[in-house]
């Protein structure tokens, strides 16, 4: 019984340690994201996204990188772009950029995996967009995508807004909107973060290294390196999909994979696969129909595998393959260091942004919008994960007292 309590308590403590280590980064990232969303006019961007050319894809990439990293928000915004006349290639570029090139994701990768993985993420994110754009151009199912565009015509969106950013950035209402965007981003992302960090904490403690080395062929010395890299890149999206974690929640688990010797190609393939989890494929099916949703998922899978292999080949050729092998137990320690002081500062910043959000709601006499989410099953899962964490921390406290 005590062995069980020790493992259970240590797992919950590790999960909480992930939250602790990255708390300030989330606030900073969503604060910057809120400012970009509030002060960058969208109307001027969307009218140039109707073609599958370099300008359209570049604008979509910029727009995506300037948006929220929440996977559900990325899908909803991409749907709005399609409704406003954006090309599907531009919409897919936006989805990849909004979940791979945003500042909050970069900060999290820097904290948990190191600067080498951050550089790989940024380079690979652009490669991923380029490959997916070419694949859609070569395989474009015109009749399917025309039908999908008609399917979203009745949907409402918030991309019709036009404003002078200079006036807004100097106004009280503009900064209240920043607070509103900040809270909305948190509302959309916190469930994924909770589930992802909890799974990562328990996996780090309970799953033996032998499982990962077998699954990702880490000890298969009799196989050529290129074949192991291919297997890693191909299986990583399925591992990511099996976690049901989107966006930011998969970075701690990527750290667990890194600690257990998974190859660079596998880790990058895992990180890029946040848009392939079943709830997100289902959301795309609601927007465009199952044919197009599965087509997009297929394009993403092939693009992710090719990007991971290209990155692995390039970094191997340059002899700069990241091998941080950071120990999770060291990352998740609670101590008085820069993390403590950063969390202390950003708690107050978050409180100020929540206050601005409340002022925004008061001045507009509105309630929080209902955001697209994973549905009832996900809400039940979130409740279960909260209970698991509360009981786990209680178990850890008990084992420390006796």
User: Has residue 223 got a pLDDT over 50?
Assistant: yes
Q: What is the pLDDT of residue 42?
A: 62
User: Which range, 130-134, 158-162, 246-250, 278-282, has the best average confidence (pLDDT)?
Assistant: 130-134
Task: Give the pLDDT score at 155.
Answer: 52
Distance between CA 347 and CA 307 in Å, rounded?
Answer: 37
Model pLDDT, residue 142: 80
Please state the pTM of the whole predicted model.
Answer: 0.73
For 331-360, the pLDDT digits (tens) are 666 777 777 888 899 899 999 999 999 999
Gap between the Cα atoms of 261 and 144, Å rounded = 42
Range of lowest pLDDT (165-179, 183-197, 282-296): 183-197
Contacts of 192 (CB under 8 A, 6+ apart): 70, 71, 245, 246, 247, 248, 249
pLDDT number for residue 159: 43
Q: What is the pLDDT of residue 179?
A: 92
Place of tokens 């939250």: 19
Per-residue pLDDT tens for 9-63?
A: 888 888 888 788 778 877 877 787 778 778 866 665 666 777 778 888 888 888 8
Is the model's pLDDT at 212 over the cut of 80? yes
Cβ within 8 Å of residue 77, ≥6 positions away? 67, 94, 98, 159
Block residue for tokens 């996996």: 203
Gap between the Cα atoms of 243 and 246, Å rounded: 9
* 38 contact partners, CB below 8 Å, separation of at least 6: 168, 174, 175, 177, 178, 181
Q: Tell me, what's the pLDDT at 247?
A: 63
Q: Are 365 and 184 in contact (CB under 8 A)?
A: no
Confidence band for 126, pLDDT divided at 50, 70 and 90: very high
Q: What is the mean pLDDT of residues 231-250?
A: 80
| C-alpha–C-alpha distance, residues 115 and 94, integer Å | 24
Whether the predicted pLDDT of 178 surpasses 80? yes
pLDDT band at residue 127 using 50, 70 and 90 as cut-offs: very high
Pairwise pLDDT comparison (72 vs 308), residue with the higher score: 308
Rounded Cα gap, residues 14 and 330, in angstroms: 10
How far apart, in whole angstroms, are the C-alpha atoms of residue 263 and residue 215? 11
Token output for 296: 């997009």
The confidence score (pLDDT) of residue 400 equals: 79
Given a cut of 60, whether residue 69 has pLDDT beyond it is no
More confidently predicted of 50 and 132: 132
- In terms of average pLDDT, the best of 28-37, 89-98, 373-382 is 89-98
Mean pLDDT across the chain: 81
Mean per-residue pLDDT for 183-196? 78
Whose CA is closest to 252, among 332, 324, 309? Answer: 332
Distance CA 77, CA 57 (A): 15
How much of the chain, in percent, has pLDDT values that exceed 90? 16
Where is pLDDT greater, at 111 or 29?
111
Provide the CA 277 distance to its chain's centre, in angstroms: 11
**Does residue 67 sit in helix, strand or coil?**
coil
pLDDT band per the 50, 70, 90 thresholds, residue 198 = confident
Average pLDDT over residues 147-166: 65
Distance CA 234, CA 231 (A): 5
Give CA–CA dist 124/121, Å, rounded.
5
| Range in 100-114, 200-214, 244-258, 303-317 with the lowest mean pLDDT | 244-258
């Amino acid at each position: 019984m005590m062995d069980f309590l020790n493992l259970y308590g240590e797992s919950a403590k590790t999960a909480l340690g992930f939250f602790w280590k990255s708390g300030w980064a989330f606030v900073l990232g969503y604060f910057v994201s809120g400012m970009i969303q509030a002060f960058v006019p969208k109307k001027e961007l969307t009218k140039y996204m109707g073609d599958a050319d370099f300008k359209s894809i570049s604008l979509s990439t910029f727009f995506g990188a300037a948006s929220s990293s929440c996977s559900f928000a990325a899908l909803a915004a991409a749907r709005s772009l399609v409704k406003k006349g954006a090309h599907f290639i531009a919409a897919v570029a936006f989805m990849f950029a909004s979940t791979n090139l945003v500042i909050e994701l970069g900060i999290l990768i820097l904290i948990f995996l190191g600067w080498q993985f951050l550089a790989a993420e940024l380079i690979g994110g652009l490669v991923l967009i380029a490959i997916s754009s070419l694949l859609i151009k070569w395989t474009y199912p015109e009749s399917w995508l025309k039908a999908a565009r008609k399917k979203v015509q009745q949907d409402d969106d918030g991309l019709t807004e036009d404003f002078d950013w200079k006036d807004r950035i100097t106004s009280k209402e503009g900064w209240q909107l920043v607070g509103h965007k900040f809270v909305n981003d948190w509302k959309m992302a916190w469930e994924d973060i909770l589930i992802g960090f909890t799974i990562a904490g328990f996996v780090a403690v309970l799953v033996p290294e032998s499982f990962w080395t077998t699954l990702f062929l880490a000890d298969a010395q009799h196989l050529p390196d290129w074949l192991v890299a291919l297997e890693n890149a191909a299986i990583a999206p399925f591992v990511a999909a099996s976690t049901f974690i989107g966006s930011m929640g998969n970075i701690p688990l990527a750290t667990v994979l890194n600690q257990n010797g998974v190859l660079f190609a596998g880790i990058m393939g895992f990180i890029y696969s946040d848009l392939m989890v079943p709830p997100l494929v289902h959301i795309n099916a609601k927007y465009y129909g199952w044919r197009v949703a599965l087509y997009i998922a297929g394009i993403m899978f092939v693009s992710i595998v090719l990007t991971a292999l290209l990155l692995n080949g390039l970094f191997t050729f340059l002899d700069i393959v990241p091998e941080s092998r950071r120990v999770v137990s060291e990352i998740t320690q609670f101590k008085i260091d820069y993390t403590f002081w950063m969390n202390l500062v950003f708690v107050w910043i978050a409180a100020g942004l929540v206050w601005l959000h409340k002022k925004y709601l008061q001045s507009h006499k509105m309630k929080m919008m209902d955001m697209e989410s994973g549905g009832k099953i996900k809400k039940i899962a979130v409740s279960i994960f909260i209970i698991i964490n509360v009981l786990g921390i209680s178990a850890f406290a008990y084992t420390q007292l006796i």
